[in-house]
C-alpha cells in the first residue's frame, strides 16, 4: 500500500480559537502575522504552541506519512506558520477560494470534495477541527472500499494534543506492519502529553464545540 498522506489543518488545530472570554491555552505563545494580501497595518494575532514543532517533526521522522498542509492558510502555512514552529517546508493542498459564510455549506466540511479528488486512491489521516457526521461517513465509505481513512478532530479551543498524534502513529503503523520509531525510540516517548485528549468518534460529530462563522479552517 502506498504511503498515506497526513493532512494538517491549522485553525482550531495548531491555532486554537479563543474562548468566549478571550482566553487561550497557557501553552501557546502570541504571534502577530501578516497573511498574503493583507493590509500591512492590519496584522492577524495568532497563538502557537512551541511544543508542536518538535512533536510534528518527530512524527514526520517515522516516515510513515507524507505530511501536507490542508488549510485556508494555503501557501502561508509553509512560509509563515511552519517556520514559527521550526518545521521544514511542507507541501500544501491548493484549496479553492469558495464564497461561503459557513464551513459546511452542504452539511459537510467545505474542503472535502476538493480533498477527495486530490487524494485519488491514496490512504489518508486527516486532522481538522471541523468535521461533521457526513465527513465521518465519507471516511467510513472510503475505508470500506479499501482506502484507509482516519479523521481526527481536536477541540478547537484546545487544539492538537499528543494523543491525536499517537492515534495517527498507531493507525499508520498498522497499515505499514512495521516498527514506527526511528533509532529504536518509541514514538510515544517522543510525544509528551500536552493536555487531556478529547474523546473522538469515528462516525459522529464532536459535541459542544463552536467555531467562528467567519473562519473556514
CB 33 within 8 A of CB 44: yes
pLDDT in tens, 138-178: 999 999 999 999 999 999 999 999 999 999 999 999 998 84
pLDDT at 176: 87
Asked if residue 153 is part of any domain, the answer here is yes
Would residue 216 count as lying in a domain?
Answer: no
In this predicted model, what pLDDT tens digit does every residue of 168-210 receive, in sequence order? Answer: 999 999 998 844 444 334 444 444 443 333 333 343 333 233 3
Q: Cα separation of 121 and 204, whole Å?
A: 24
Residue 37 falls inside a structural domain: no
List Cα–Cα distances, 108 to 119, 135, 137, 153, 209, in angstroms. 17, 6, 10, 14, 15
Residue 45 domain-assigned (yes or no): no
Residue 197 lies in a domain: no
Q: Are 124 and 131 in contact (CB under 8 A)?
A: no
Domain containing 68 equals 5-21+50-190
In a domain, 13, yes or no: yes
pLDDT of residue 213: 34
Sequence-distant (≥ 6) Cβ neighbours of residue 157 within 8 angstroms: 16, 17, 18, 19, 25, 209
pLDDT of residue 215: 52
Residue 180 belongs to a domain = yes
Look up the CATH number of the domain holding residue 108. 3.40.50
Where is 171: in which H helix or E strand? helix 162-176
Report yes or no on 43 lying in a domain. Answer: no
CA distance 171 to 169: 5
pLDDT bucket at 2, cuts 50 / 70 / 90: confident
Identify the band that residue 131 occupies on the pLDDT scale cut at 50, 70 and 90.
Answer: very high
For residues 205, 24, 27 and 56, what is the CA-based torsion angle, rounded to 10 degrees? 40
Question: pLDDT, tens digit, for every residue of 42-101?
Answer: 999 999 999 999 999 999 888 999 999 999 999 999 999 999 999 999 999 999 998 898
pTM value? 0.82
Evaluate if residue 28 carries a pLDDT over 60: yes
| Contact status, residue 62 vs residue 170, Cβ threshold 8 Å | no
Q: CA-CA distance, 91 to 77, in Å (whole number)?
A: 9
Q: How many domains does the chain divide into? A: 1
pLDDT value for 133: 98
Amino acid at each position: 500500500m502506498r504511503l498515506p498522506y497526513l493532512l494538517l489543518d491549522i485553525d482550531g488545530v495548531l491555532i486554537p480559537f479563543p474562548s468566549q472570554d478571550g482566553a487561550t491555552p497557557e501553552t501557546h505563545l502570541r504571534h502577530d502575522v501578516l497573511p498574503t494580501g493583507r493590509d500591512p497595518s492590519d496584522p492577524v494575532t495568532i497563538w502557537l504552541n512551541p511544543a508542536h514543532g518538535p512533536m510534528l517533526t518527530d512524527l514526520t521522522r517515522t516516515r510513515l506519512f507524507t505530511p501536507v498542509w490542508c488549510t485556508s492558510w494555503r501557501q502561508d502555512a509553509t512560509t509563515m506558520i511552519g517556520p514559527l514552529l521550526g518545521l521544514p517546508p511542507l507541501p500544501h493542498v491548493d484549496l479553492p477560494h469558495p464564497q461561503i459564510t459557513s464551513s459546511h455549506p452542504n452539511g459537510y466540511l467545505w474542503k472535502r470534495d476538493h480533498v477527495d479528488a486530490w487524494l485519488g486512491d491514496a490512504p489518508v489521516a486527516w486532522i481538522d477541527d471541523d468535521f461533521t457526521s457526513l465527513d465521518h461517513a465519507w471516511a467510513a465509505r472510503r475505508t470500506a472500499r479499501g482506502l484507509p481513512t482516519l479523521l481526527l478532530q481536536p477541540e478547537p479551543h484546545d487544539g492538537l494534543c499528543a494523543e491525536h498524534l499517537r492515534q495517527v502513529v498507531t493507525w499508520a503503523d498498522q497499515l505499514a506492519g512495521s516498527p514506527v520509531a526511528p533509532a529504536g525510540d518509541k514514538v510515544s516517548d517522543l510525544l509528551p502529553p500536552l493536555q487531556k485528549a478529547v474523546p473522538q468518534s469515528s462516525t459522529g460529530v464532536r459535541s459542544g464545540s463552536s467555531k467562528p462563522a467567519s473562519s473556514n479552517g
